[in-house]
Amino acid sequence: MDAPNNSSSSGDDSKAAEVFLFADGRRYHNTPNCPYVLPNDLEEIDRLEVQYYAIQQVTQKRYHVPLNNPKRIIDIGIGTGVWMRETALDFPECEFTGIDITPLPETTVMPANCNFKLANVLEGLAYADGHFDFVRHSLLIAGIPKDKWPFYVKECMRLCASGGWVEMTETNAKIHGGGAATKKLSAFAPECFRARGLSPEIADTLDDLMREAGLVDVEAREFKVPLGKRGGKAGELLLRNFLMGQAMLTPLYVSVYGITREEAEQTIQQAADEFEVQDAYAVFRVCFGRKP
């Protein structure tokens, strides 16, 4: 049996200081030319794990395209690495590459057929054309500027081998339905994303961008999930993810809207209470296409 691959960030404090910034008791990435808005610390690691398993509950799949003995797969914006770690066990002969702008958690242990690279996809990736049989990401809405999405999708197309697949899972920065507090919050988040140059509605147009990039057999599958108990296990996980994410966005709400932290937190809690008595749901779209 192959030995595990221990992928971890450096324990050197000076190197950590170069990689991260610290504000309001939270740790953030320090990557130039990247608008990623969320923290990078233990709390965010927990949220990303919750988010991953919530999406698995929603879609019931780790990937939605036919993978027949792939030789190389890349996961862009790998986060905690959980998708790569689990999927690599399905394809032990395949070489998996994960990239992100910050290191993997120090305790991460990966299968031997996995490797991790620090890289910013917005600057292009140093791989040959057609290097990967499957190119994928999940939820980069908070990391790619609105004007960079066409470049990013074309870069994924370039990296993909002829006959291979590109798959992207995204959501929009709002909750649909709900009561007054939910609607207020669903106005807050998109505006804060726009203030950072991001595209809060990118999920709606990803399939069009894929076609424009030259991908064929493009499909978009939409999943609507009520938040909270009304949505079953997936809804409960999504509610937990929602509350953790909103807590991280609170400083943005304060700075963009000029409200107090207490007002923001009150609105978030009121929205969560509404989820239990009114229909409020999140929408995820899985878009994929094949390179001719």
Give tens-digit pLDDT for 180-221. Answer: 999 998 888 888 889 889 999 999 999 999 999 999 999 999
* pLDDT at residue number 26: 52
DSSP tag of 146? G
* pLDDT at residue number 105: 80
At residue 4 the predicted structure's pLDDT band, cuts being 50, 70 and 90, is very low
Q: What percent of the chain has pLDDT over 70?
A: 85
Question: Model confidence over 38-53: pLDDT tens digits?
Answer: 555 556 777 778 888 8
Res 280 pLDDT > 70? yes
* pLDDT at residue number 192: 84
Instruction: Let me know how many helices (H) and strands (E) the chain has, helices first.
Output: 8, 12
> Which residues lie across from 224 on neighbouring strands?
283
Domain ranges within the chain, ordered by starting residue: 5-172+198-224+286-290
Question: Where do we find the tokens 């809060």?
Answer: 200
Q: Give 37's contacts (C-beta < 8 A, 6+ positions apart).
A: 142, 192, 193, 196, 198, 249, 252
**In whole angstroms, what separates CA 154 from the centre of its chain?**
18
* pLDDT at residue number 114: 98
The CATH class of the 5-172+198-224+286-290 domain is: alpha beta
Give me the DSSP letters along 230-241.
Answer: GGHHHHHHHHHH
Average pLDDT over residues 246-270: 88
* pLDDT at residue number 151: 98
Query: Cβ atoms within 10 A of the Cβ of 55, count?
Result: 25
* pLDDT at residue number 185: 87
* pLDDT at residue number 35: 58
Question: Model confidence over 77-115: pLDDT tens digits?
Answer: 998 899 999 999 999 999 999 999 888 887 889 999 999
CA atoms within 13 A on the CB side of 254: 14
* pLDDT at residue number 38: 56
* pLDDT at residue number 41: 55
Res 21 pLDDT > 70? no
Of the candidates 209, 229, 226, 204, the residue with the CA atom closest to the CA atom of residue 285: 204
Of the candidates 171, 169, 288, 193, the residue with the CA atom closest to the CA atom of residue 241: 171
Whether 189 and 195 have beta carbons less than 8 Å apart is answered as no
* pLDDT at residue number 168: 98
Q: Give 1's contacts (C-beta < 8 A, 6+ positions apart).
A: none
Question: Model confidence over 139-193: pLDDT tens digits?
Answer: 999 889 999 999 999 999 999 999 999 999 999 888 999 999 999 988 888 888 8
Higher pLDDT, 234 or 158: 158
DSSP tag of 36? -
Of the candidates 35, 241, 256, the residue with the CA atom closest to the CA atom of residue 140: 35
At residue 3 the predicted structure's pLDDT band, cuts being 50, 70 and 90, is very low
Three-state DSSP string of 78-107: CCCCHHHHHHHCCCCCCEEEEEECCCCCCC
User: Going by DSSP bridges, is the β-strand pair 72-76/132-138 parallel, antiparallel, or unpaired?
Assistant: parallel
What percentage of the chain's residues is helix, strand, coil (to nearest 5)? 40, 25, 35
Whether 236 and 228 have beta carbons less than 8 Å apart is answered as yes
